[in-house]
Amino acid sequence: MDSPFFSTNQVNKKYDYLYEFEISPEEQALAENKKSYEQIIRSTGIFGGSQVIIVILGIIRNKILAVWLGTAGIGLISIFQNIIDLIKSVSGIGIETGGVREIASVSQSGNKEIVIRNISLIDRISLILAVFGFLLSIIFSYPISIWAFGSGAYTLHILFLSVCVFFSLLGAGQMVVLHGLRKIGYMVKATVISTALGLVATLPLYYFFREKAIIPAFIIGSILLFFFTYHYRRKLNLQTIPVSSREIIQKGITIFRLGFYIVISSILTLVGYFLIRAFLTDNLGLSSVGLYQAVWSVTGVSVMLILRSMGSDFYPRLCSIIQDKNASIKLINEQSYIVLIIAVPIIIALLLLSKIILTLLYSSQFAGGSSMMNWQVLGTFFKVLSWPLGFILLAKGKGRLYFISEMLFLVSYLAFTYLLYDKFYLESAGIAYFLAYIVYLFIVLIWGQRLCSFRWTKENLLIGFISFILVLLAFCIVQYSSEYIIIAGIPIFIMSVLFSVFKLSKVFPVKSLLNIFQKDDSKF
């Protein structure tokens, strides 16, 4: 008797097809691994490429504005940006992390209704937070002006910045939806197009109105970002549904529990770095702070460019499978594998070129910070190792553990800096960074084991060991035998590149690397 869904012939044909093209479990596992690594590489390439474009556009903008506005104008832009970021952090309660988790955790469930409901709730919450940030900017405009500038002269400027805060938080809400659904292509397009158009639209304003154009430029940039994130969000054809006030409050509390710890840890981290700068100023003068800031800028931009690019897809993927221990362990190991083989050659290059980079980007006076930079770059190796593990805490919604881990890193960093200062002076900040990330790695590794029984694979342990040996050799040459950089350092760098290419080819054909970027962004 025929099935109401398949006739007997259809069923037979179906099974004939399976026998004819039968795939062994080993082949299926290899195909799945290839697909997973392909997603990691593609998201890193697409998002990383966009970040490079944005950095270049930022450099062009800063160079032009430095000529037109001078140091005072650039300083004013920096202060206004800090004010916007602070208000966004306080009023946003970590929606960019917690919201992504809420959407990503149900995106793979197959239940479209639940996904739509979560998205609808995020939309309402982001609107409420945008209004809250808007009102916060208005109410505290005068105190903020006193705090930032020492007078109330900029109260009106901050009042107008409330518009920028409003649209920035609305745009963040749209970006949360794209991120949670892993629409990396749309995220990239929205960010790059809005940044490029913002540059084109605001440069004439700066040319004609100089400092008076700063506030309008901020507002235009925030509106453009919101418009394009909303535009690409609309392409998903996801219609929102009505949600009750009770649901909004419940979901808001869930996001707030995680976001609260993220916001507080961010604020305390800024305070900690301020204490380091104040300590160096008191003991070594302002010039040492300039060296410290230059080192942080170079190492921070280069390494975080890689980590943020990988995190764009890794975090929502991990959130969607975090309840499955085996799948989570597999994904974290895959991410660790890729981040190591990509980051290690870059770390070695930063070590070998530390003096040259500081001189080119700043001046020959900043070359004195190269010793501190070498220690800090060595510390980034452990940062790279610990980075995928830190996402376990966020994906699990363990805000308190995340806060504790960040504070333990910060306390270690401050303590090592103070303890080592008498012997190493400015270099103590770099050594402290290196030691603090070793401490942090052990913390997140222990909690990763407890939360999802995480273990590194033997392959990753081997790669980590070989990579650390190469990084350590490069560090020792640059730090203690710089005369051998060319004859010994360059061969080490070449070895690291060849090792990375070899390891990449083990999980994905290198010759197919360009093809994975040619897929439809809307399906990514």
- Residue-level pLDDT at 457: 93
CB neighbour list of residue 472: distance below 8 Å, 6 or more residues apart: 378
What single-letter amino acid sits at 519? Answer: K
- Tokens 């995020």, residue? 122
Please provide the average confidence, as pLDDT, over all residues in the chain: 85
Measured distance CA(214)–CA(199) in Å, rounded:
12
Is the confidence at residue 517, as pLDDT, over 60? no
Element containing residue 366 per DSSP (H, E): none
Q: Tell me the per-residue pLDDT of 26-67, one tens digit each, with 9 for 90 and over.
A: 555 555 666 777 777 877 778 878 888 888 888 788 788 888
How many CB atoms are located within 10 Å of the residue 15 CB? 10
For 251-307, what is each residue's pLDDT tens digit? Answer: 989 888 888 888 888 888 878 887 887 888 788 876 777 778 778 878 877 777 777
Question: For tokens 């990514």, what's the residue?
Answer: 524
By C-alpha distance, which of 518, 509, 455, 514 is closest to 35?
509
Q: Please give the pLDDT value at position 279.
A: 84
Domain ranges of the chain: 37-243, 261-509
pTM (predicted TM-score):
0.80
What is the DSSP code string of 157-212? HHHHHHHHHHHHHHHHHHHHHHHHTT-HHHHHHHHHHHHHHHHHHHHHHHHHHGGG
Cα–Cα distance measured from residue 158 to residue 151, given in angstroms and rounded to the nearest whole number: 13
Q: Is the pLDDT of residue 169 over 50?
A: yes
In the block, which residue shows the tokens 């890689």?
306
pLDDT of residue 406: 92
Largest CA distance in the chain: 90
Q: Could you give the count of Cα atoms lying within 13 Å of 451 in the half-sphere of its Cβ? A: 22
Predicted confidence at residue 83, as pLDDT, reads 87
Burial state string for 405-439 with b = 16 or more CB within 10 A and e = fewer than 16? bbbbbbebbbebbeebbeebebbbbbbbbbbbbeb
What amino acid occupies position 60? I
Burial class, 183, CB count within 10 angstroms (exposed 0-12 / middle 13-18 / buried 19+):
buried
Neighbours of 445 (CB within 10 A): 17
Burial class of residue 112 (count of CB atoms within 10 Å of its CB; 0-12, 13-18, 19+) = exposed
